[in-house]
Amino acid sequence: DQFYAIWQQVAEHFANAPSSLAFELLNEPNSRATTALMNPLYAEVIRRIRVTNPSRTIFLGPGEYNSANELSKLVLPNGDDNLIVTLHCYDPYYFTHQGAEWAYPDTKTTGVLFPGPPATPLAPDKTIVHSWVLDWFNDYNRLPTERNPSGTAAFKPLLQKAKNWSEMYGRPVHFGEF
C-alpha cells in the first residue's frame, strides 16, 4: 500500500511535467523483492500512474538487482508501449568492484585489469574467503583474453540474453548501470 501511495503521489505531482521526465519504479529489487513478487505490484502501480500520466515513460526491472538472468520471470502489462526494462550488469565483478569496501573481503584485491590476463600474474588478497573467488583469479591470471573472466566473455552472454528477450517481446531494454 505504501508503494502504491508513494507512486500515486509522485505521479500526481509530476502529471504536467515535460515528457522528458521518466519514472523508475524501483532501483535494483532484491532479496524478498523477487521478480515474481514485483510483477503484480508493477502492474498495479503502472495502472495507477497511468491515471495522471498516460504516456509517461516508465522504467522497471527484474529482481536480483535488475539482472538479465531474471528476464524470463518478468511479466509486463499488455498494451502499454511506454515501458522500458532496465537492467544492470557489473561483470566482470572482480574488476568493476575491486576495492569496494562494502563488499570486502572478496573484492579487496586491486590491480585487476580489463581485459585479462595481466602481463604479470596478480596475487589475490590473502583475506578472500570464498574458493570460487580464488578460482576466478586463477583463471584471470592464466586464460587468454577471449576466455578470460575479466573480459567480454564475462558479460556478452547477458547482453545477448537481453537482446533476445527484447526481440522476442518487442520491448526496449536499457542497461542503466554497466
How far is residue 169's CA from residue 75's CA, in Å, rounded to a whole number? 10
How far is residue 34's CA from residue 74's CA, in Å, rounded to a whole number? 10
- Cell numbers placing 21: 521526465
- Cell numbers placing 111: 590491480
How far is residue 36's CA from residue 176's CA, in Å, rounded to a whole number? 21
Positions marked active-site:
28
Q: Whose grid coordinates read 542503466?
A: 176
Tell me which H or E stretch contains 83: strand 83-88
